[in-house]
Structure 1
Amino acid sequence: MSQEPTVKVDEDALGPALNRLRRAQGQLSGVIAMIESGRDCRDIVTQLAAASRALDRAGFKIVASGMRQCTAAGGGTPPMSETELERLFLALA
């Protein structure tokens, strides 16, 4: 059985990525509360778009910080192929 490549996030990128994820988590909680309280659709969509952007930015930060590791062999795992990297980026789109 092959071992999946893992990404270790650069320590300098970890803090900002986690902050973005926490921000998105708070925004999603806000969206849920807004829906439950019957808020205006425009307000809900605006908040949902903000959460989506925060998730995208966190994802890009994590992928970008792990790119060197993903493209280089190390730790007994083969490097990711160009196709695998492309799929990884497209998953964020």
Structure 2
Amino acid sequence: MNEHRHETHPEIIKRLKRAEGHLRSVVAMIEAGRPCLDIAQQLHAVEKAITQAKRTLIQDHLDHCLEDTVGALPRDQRQTIETFKAIAKYL
């Protein structure tokens, strides 16, 4: 299989490592009997980091892989691709 890398991959890795650290903290907090509010805040941080990593990966894929596959299109067909990329930001 060919190596598949994009410019944003280091940023995605950084976000996921941050989420991994937050998740370890959540487990330790639960084991230590910390208050639910504190745990919920940490879980929110995990969720946010993962969501942002996913969005970055999807947008990068659309911006590069889809463009490479589709290639040059006439303006009327181009609008459909641009609309698809724009709506995907809401995933």
Give me the TM-score of the superposition, normalised by structure 1.
Answer: 0.66
Larger radius of gyration: 2
**Count of residues in Structure 1 that have an aligned counterpart in Structure 2:** 73
Q: Deviations over 1:35-54 (max 9, x none)?
A: 01100000000000001000
Amino acid at match of 1:28: L
**Contact in 2 for aligned 1:34/1:44 (Cα 8 Å):** yes
Which position in structure 1 is the counterpart of 2:69?
A: 73
Q: Deviations over 1:12-39 (max 9, x none)?
A: 2011100000000000000000001100
Higher normalized helix content (fraction of residues): 2
Identify which of 13, 20, 29 aligns with 2:8.
13
Equivalent-residue separation in structure 1 for 2:59 and 2:5 (angstroms): 9
Identify which of 36, 49, 52 aligns with 2:31.
36
Spell out the pairing of 1:58-69 with structure 2 (5 A cutoff).
Answer: 58-67=53-62, 68-69=64-65
Stretches of 4+ moved more than 6 A in 1? none
Unaligned runs of 5+ in 2: 71-80
Which position in structure 1 is the counterpart of 2:20?
A: 25
Q: 3-state DSSP class of the match of 2:61? A: helix
C-alpha RMSD over aligned residues: 2.5
